Structure formats: structure tokens, C-alpha cells
Structure 1
Amino acid sequence: MKIFKFGGASVKDAEGVKNVALVLESQGFENCLLVVSAMGKTTNALEKVVENYFAKQDYQTEIEKVKQSHLEISNGLFKENHPVFAEISLFFDDIESFLRRNKSPNYNFVYDQVVSCGEMISSKILSEYLNDIQFKNTWLDARDYLKTDSNYREGNINWEETQKNISTLNGNQSYVTQGFIGSEANNFTVTLGREGSDYSAAIFAYCLNAEAMTIWKDVPGVMTGDPRKFENVNLLSNISYEEAIEMAYYGASVIHPKTLQPLKQKHIPFYVKSFLEPQRPGTKVGNASENQKEESYILKENQHLMRIATRDFSFIAEEHLSQIFAQLAKYKIKISLMQNSAISLALCLEDKYGHIDELNQELQTIFSTELIKNVSLFTVRNAKLEDLNKFYENKNILLEQISQKTIQVVIN
């Protein structure tokens, strides 16, 4: 079985959905499982619903906006009396009903129940459209298959239960399902982290022993840099699992960090290709013998630089690190870069959930801290160290680190 994952940009409108069908026609739709993201900017719009709900502001208007955009897309795909319109309305009725009845003050729990509807609706629209044009498929609710713990917004997969569920699928059929979501023991929805649809596809690929997995993007493949941020970038036609994992860790947005591990374990070839030009070869991620090492550039924005020092000028010791890491875990703040000296620790941090001020306040009860917000982490992989000076031109360097042909600088 083949696994195809289509992101939000590929299904942002009716023409996008029709183009998915053209991609499938060119690639072959038999024995294929499609994993689809929410349409366009739907996730952002549903996040606004949750924000307004907790701020006790008008969230119903925001729900209606999202509903109308999906109905508009469907008008470009289906006849007026198609049953999909009633199903779309039911999804949005469910969101409103849940928010009216909800008593939980847990933001992350409510977030997962609401935001996950974007994937449910987009996958239903795509599945119905494909069936209408004779690409026969079965729609699956991913929450019946991907089982997680109760770590809302960053669910951890229960691999044993997930494997058991997915192994019941028929490898001779085609399916359409959702990325980004699973469910916990009580069947409440749990999301797998922002941009987690790639990871969902990899989970299905692993459990089905897929022959290959392809992610369809709006770029030709994995590039030596984001073409929207860097000039003169090239396509990487072959890279190893290890190199792809490193690039994802450093912030290459084209690959989700968790995606590679399950694929590597079973040596499942992984392709990144363009849904705009499906005939092009794209990038193959596979065994290390085919690794293409070219100088690559990664810019990770919306970071924060925090410098932490002991108040009495004593060494930063293991007990201090333990305290700091415990607070980072508590607030789900991730380290992008770390550098320590005898009496201080510098951390470049990614704060997906907006807790950086709380972290800073808590650490200040024990340490001296300095916080510089909204910095960027610029990483160069496979750097030509003899050309080092070009990486420092016109940049205000706040922190730098060089390790085995990898250069990292924090800039503002």
C-alpha cells in the first residue's frame, strides 16, 4: 500500500481538491491511503474560535465564517443537493454544541476537540469528491485507529493499540483519512502537535508496512533553503533519513520532526514532491549511501533568547539544570539551541503555547535571567567553513555555535 499526504495548501479551494484528483490520476490511486490536512488556513481560524471562547467573546461568528468558506468550496465541487452539505453543517453544529455544553477549563482539551474538526471536514469533502469521480475510497475516522495518551495538543502514540487497529485495514482498498488527530482512552480527540499530519501519515505507513510514503507540497521537494527566504537554492534529490532528521530538528519546515523515525525503522522510502508538478521526481529520503550533502540554510523564526545565571556566581551545576529543564517541560517550551559557561546558560527557545513570560517569572525566583524576545535562529548545514565570514554579514549576532560543519547563530 502507498501512503499519500496532502497538506492544507493542496486543498485550500475547489481547484485544489480537483488538482488532488489529477495528482492521483498521474500516480495511480489503487491500494492507496490518503492523509489530508485541514483546508488552507482553517486551523488558524478554529484557533481563533477557541481564543474567543475562553475570552468570553463572540465565537459563533468565527464558526460561521469557517462554515461558509467550506460550503463555498463545496459549491465548486458538488451538485446543490449533494449529501455532503448536510454533513458539513453537522460538523459545525457539533462544534457549537460541544462549546455550549463544555465545563472543562482545560484550554488544551477544548482546543483539541474544536481544532480537529478542520481535518474531519476536509477529509470528508475530499473523500466524497473522489468517490463522485469514480476514485472509489472509504472514509476513515483516524481517531478510531490512532490511539494516544491524554497529553492534549502533543499526544504520544500508543503504538501497540494503534498497530492492532490499523492492521485491520484491507491493503487492497483505498482510504481517505485525517492527519494531526488521534484519540485517548475515553475517545476524546487528541492532536499530535502543530503540523502533525506528516507524522500521522508516517504512523499509517509504519503500521501498514507501506511500500512508500509521499508528502505533496507546494515546493519541488526538500531544498537547500526555503525559496521564500533564501536566494539561489537547489533541490536535494537524495538525502538520508539521518540528514532529514537533522534538518527537521534544526527547523526545516518541509519535514515534521517526528515523521522520520517510524519510516527509518522499517526502511520505508519517503518522497517529498510537488502537487503543482507531480511529474517531477522531487526528493527521496532513504538510506545513508545515497545521501547528498550540500550546504543548506534554515531560518527558524519567532524564537526567544534567555540567559540564565546563578545569583551567587556559583557554577551552573546539575541540580540547577534539573530545575530549569523541569520548568521548560512544565510550560512545553522547547530548546532550539543551548550553550553554557561556568556561571550561565543561554537558551534559544521555541514557545508554541505562549508561556515564555510565565517561565521567565518562575525562573527569576531562583536565578538571574535576561530575556530577548522574537529572535531568529539561523542554521547552516554542511557549511563551508572557509567561507565563514559570509554568514555574519549584516547580522546582529546574539549567540553563535559551530559544530562539525554546522553553524548556528541567534540573530535579531
Structure 2
Amino acid sequence: MQVFKFGGASVKDANGVKNLASVLQKVGYNNTLVVVSAMGKTTNALEVVINNYFNNKAELQSSLQEVKKYHNSILLDLFDNEHHAVFKNVSNLFDELNRFLDSNKSPDYNFVYDQIVGFGELVSTLIISHYLNDIGLKNTWLDVREYIKTDNYYRRSNVNWEDTQHLITTKFNTFTLNITQGFLGSDANNFTTTLGREGSDYTAAIFAYCLNAESVTIWKDVPGVLNADPRYFENAQLLNMISYREAIELAFYGASVIHPKTLQPLQGKEIPLYVKSFLNPEKSGTKVGKGTALEPDIPCFIVKKNQVLISLSSLNFSYIVEENISEIFSLLHLYKMKVDVIQNSAISFSVCVDNMYNNLDKLLQHLKAKFKVSCQENVSLYTIRNYNDKAIQQLEQGKTILLKQLTQGTIQIVTQ
């Protein structure tokens, strides 16, 4: 059994869908599960729909119509017959989405988000499944929500491994080509949940773990895992081999190629992960597995934009001690702040966080009751793994350094 994952960039248009089929034909698709994300920037477009649902009802239907038009143009490019069943099936999904918009009574943004955004994956996989069947790649479309069960922590749900293992073991047919959605699951009440942005990689790993798969391959528009994001760094180099441990470190610090949760289940069963190019599918790409930490042995650069640096100090110059730190972290947890780096001294405490749930104002208000607080938004957090002096000098050049923390193997720098 092998598990393939194709991201949104790989199926952003009809040619992308055709290329996915070509990749399967070139590398083989027997006993294969294909996990697919929403097409192109559909998730972003559905986030606009969600925002309009809460804040701008007048634009709601027009924003939803943009999503429909985008998918309809792909359908028309892939299928000659407008009476093909796929048109009706896709239309039914959008009708289901409209019924939710009309009937929902919940004011919970995170719940509504998950119920709406998942339609991107449902539509993309439905289109791809029909197309593959039409060209002779017979497959079964699966609703991933019937296999991956989670809690109800909407937008970043935790997998119920026992229920998920049971469902996949008892319901999944390993002797065929299966197509399913990344990113999604369902809770105990069968409401749709999501595993966090970029969670489709994690979906592939969950299935691989439960199926004892031979390997997982993530197909991307880059030749493999690079030592830096080429959008932000020049002269990025391909990493041929990464150990599980090093890949988990890179993912933790924000490397965008591999989702942070993806590697843990794979490491548990020593299932190798390959990152390859869907443009050159027969090239070796990057292998993540047991072995050398990095090959070649070079620094790896990671950047996270739009972070928030919060600096706290005691109101009366008393020490910041365990009790204070415990309270600070309780508040960070309460307001769902993802902590990326911390630094403390006798009377101060600094933390760089990701304000993905937009709770920053509430957090600051709470903190100001007990601490002197300063806050800088839209900062950048740079991390270098396997650093050397040259790499640090190169990174710091021309930047205003707000915080710098160096440990063995890793340096983190927050800049304005």
C-alpha cells in the first residue's frame, strides 16, 4: 500500500488534474490511496465566504458564486459532455453548502469555518475521481469524514486514534485505487472538523499509519525539500535525505514543506516519506527516514511572517518566577496562541506568537492587569537549523533585531 498526497497547487486547473493522472500512470497506482487538497486557492476563497457570512451578508452569494465559477471552468475543460454526472454531483455539494448557510444557528466562528471550508476538498476530489474513472483509472471516491474521527476542537482538531484505526481497518479496501480528501475529519456528532491549515499531509500520514503503508509521497511544485523557501531566500538547495528527527525539528520551526504533525505517526512505524515534484515525477526528490540527519550537511533557513512579539515585565520590578510564567502560559493557551519562541530574564519575559485565532486584544487586556506589556505586530521570526557564522551574518544583514536566541543546532531571530 502506498499513499500519495497532492496539494492545491498541483490541481489548480484542468491541466493540473490531467498531470495528476499522468503521474499515477508513470509511477503506478495499484494499491494506492490518493489524498487531495482543495483546488488552487479555494480554501482562501471559502474563507472570504465565511467572512462575508459573519460580516457582510450582501456579498455572501457573490463570493460563493466565484468559487462555483472557478470549479465550473475546470469541469468544462475536463468533461466534454455537460450532462456528465459530475456536474450534478458538484452542484449537489454546493446546494448542501447553501443549505448550511441558510439553516445554521451557531455563532461559533470556528465551528462554521470547518463546516464551510471543507467543501473545497469534497469538490476537488469528486472532480478528480470522475476524471480518472473516465480515462480508465478506475477508483473509489471516499468521504474521509467516515474514516478519520476527531474531537471538536474546530480548525485544529485532534485525532481519535482508536476510532480512526478501527474505521480504516474495517472499512478500507486496500486492493484498489482510492481517492479521498485531505485536511478533514468529523467529530462524535459527525460535524466536519479540520486538522489545521496544510493538514492534508497529516491526513496522508494518518492513513499510512493505520494501513501500515509502504511509503507516503507528497507531490509538490518543487523538486523536494529545500534548505530554504525560494520565495524568501536566494540559492535554495535540495536536501536529498533528512532524518525523521531533523524533519520534525524543521516542521516545528515552521518549514512549510512538511506539516508539523505529519512525521510523528510515520516515525512510529518507520514509514518513509518522499517529497517529489509532480512536474518531474521520476526524479528521486527528498527522502525522510532513518539515517543521516542532513544530506548535504548545510544550514536550513525558515521564516514565519506576521508574528507578534509580546514583552512583559513585572509592575514592581519583582522577579518573573514560576508562578508568573505558569499564569502567562495559561493565558496563551486560553486564547489559543501558538508559541514560537520564548526568552526570559529576572524581571522580563518575551514571547513570539502566531495570532491565528485573532485573540490578541483579549490576551493583552488580560496580561495588562498584572504586567507591564509592550507588543509589536507584523514581526518576522527567522530560524536557522544547523547554523554557522556565515549563515547568521547573511540573515542579519540589513535587519533590525528585536530578539535573538541561540541554542545548540538552532538560532532564532525576531526582526521588525
Q: TM-score, normalised by structure 2?
A: 0.97
In the alignment, residue 213 of structure 1 is paired with which amino acid?
V
Out of 188, 195, 198, the residue aligned to residue 185 of structure 1 is 188
Out of 136, 140, 144, the residue aligned to residue 142 of structure 2 is 140
> What is the Cα deviation at residue 183 of structure 1?
0.3
Whole-angstrom distance in 1 between the partners of 2:93 and 2:365: 41
Which piece of structure 1 moves more, 385-394 or 351-360? 385-394
- In the alignment, what sits opposite 1:227? 230
Pairwise CA RMSD:
1.1
Out of 281, 287, 299, the residue aligned to residue 303 of structure 2 is 299
Out of 104, 117, 124, the residue aligned to residue 102 of structure 1 is 104
- In the alignment, what sits opposite 2:345? 341
Out of 241, 245, 251, the residue aligned to residue 244 of structure 2 is 241
- In the alignment, what sits opposite 1:399? 403
> What is the Cα deviation at residue 172 of structure 1?
1.2
Whole-angstrom distance in 2 between the partners of 1:377 and 1:388: 13
- In the alignment, what sits opposite 1:90? 92
Tell me if the contact between 2:339 and 2:353 (Cα under 8 Å) persists in the aligned partners: yes
SS in structure 1 of the partner of residue 78 of structure 2: coil
Tell me if the contact between 2:241 and 2:292 (Cα under 8 Å) persists in the aligned partners: no
| C-alpha distance after superposition, 1:77-111 (max 9, x if no partner) | 11221111111111111111111111111111111
TM-aligned CA distance change 1:388 to 1:83, over 3 Å? closer
> What is the Cα deviation at residue 392 of structure 1?
2.2
- In the alignment, what sits opposite 1:131? 133
Moved over 2 A (4+): 288-293, 385-392
Whole-angstrom distance in 2 between the partners of 1:206 and 1:244: 17
- In the alignment, what sits opposite 2:8? 8
In the alignment, residue 312 of structure 2 is paired with which amino acid?
I
Whole-angstrom distance in 1 between the partners of 2:323 and 2:127: 53
| C-alpha distance after superposition, 1:317-344 (max 9, x if no partner) | 1221121111111221111111111111
Whole-angstrom distance in 1 between the partners of 2:346 and 2:203: 42
SS in structure 2 of the partner of residue 198 of structure 1: helix
> What is the Cα deviation at residue 367 of structure 1?
1.1
Whole-angstrom distance in 1 between the partners of 2:304 and 2:333: 21
Out of 326, 341, 352, the residue aligned to residue 330 of structure 2 is 326
Tell me if the contact between 2:246 and 2:293 (Cα under 8 Å) persists in the aligned partners: no
Tell me if the contact between 1:60 and 1:96 (Cα under 8 Å) persists in the aligned partners: no
SS in structure 2 of the partner of residue 61 of structure 1: helix
Whole-angstrom distance in 2 between the partners of 1:38 and 1:332: 25
> What is the Cα deviation at residue 387 of structure 1?
6.0
Tell me if the contact between 2:300 and 2:384 (Cα under 8 Å) persists in the aligned partners: yes
| C-alpha distance after superposition, 1:90-147 (max 9, x if no partner) | 1111111111111111111111000001000001111111111111110000000000
Whole-angstrom distance in 2 between the partners of 1:53 and 1:233: 41
- In the alignment, what sits opposite 1:378? 382
Whole-angstrom distance in 2 between the partners of 1:29 and 1:357: 50
> What is the Cα deviation at residue 365 of structure 1?
1.5
Q: How many residue pairs were aligned?
A: 412
Which piece of structure 1 moves more, 185-194 or 387-396? 387-396
Tell me if the contact between 1:300 and 1:376 (Cα under 8 Å) persists in the aligned partners: yes
1:62 aligns with 2:51: no
* Runs of at least 5 residues in structure 2 that lack an aligned partner in the other structure: none
Whole-angstrom distance in 1 between the partners of 2:333 and 2:293: 37
SS in structure 2 of the partner of residue 114 of structure 1: helix
Q: TM-score, normalised by structure 1?
A: 0.98
> What is the Cα deviation at residue 386 of structure 1?
6.4
Which piece of structure 1 moves more, 73-82 or 377-386? 377-386
In the alignment, residue 62 of structure 2 is paired with which amino acid?
T
Whole-angstrom distance in 1 between the partners of 2:74 and 2:169: 34
- In the alignment, what sits opposite 2:37? 37
Whole-angstrom distance in 1 between the partners of 2:16 and 2:110: 31
Whole-angstrom distance in 1 between the partners of 2:392 and 2:227: 17
Tell me if the contact between 2:21 and 2:132 (Cα under 8 Å) persists in the aligned partners: yes
SS in structure 2 of the partner of residue 59 of structure 1: helix
Which piece of structure 1 moves more, 308-317 or 335-344? 308-317
In the alignment, residue 19 of structure 2 is paired with which amino acid?
N
- In the alignment, what sits opposite 1:72? 73
Whole-angstrom distance in 2 between the partners of 1:87 and 1:71: 12
Tell me if the contact between 2:299 and 2:391 (Cα under 8 Å) persists in the aligned partners: no
| C-alpha distance after superposition, 1:347-372 (max 9, x if no partner) | 11111122222211221112111000
What fraction of aligned residue pairs are identical, expressed as a percent? 56
Tell me if the contact between 1:242 and 1:288 (Cα under 8 Å) persists in the aligned partners: no
Which piece of structure 1 moves more, 358-367 or 385-394? 385-394
Which piece of structure 1 moves more, 235-244 or 285-294? 285-294
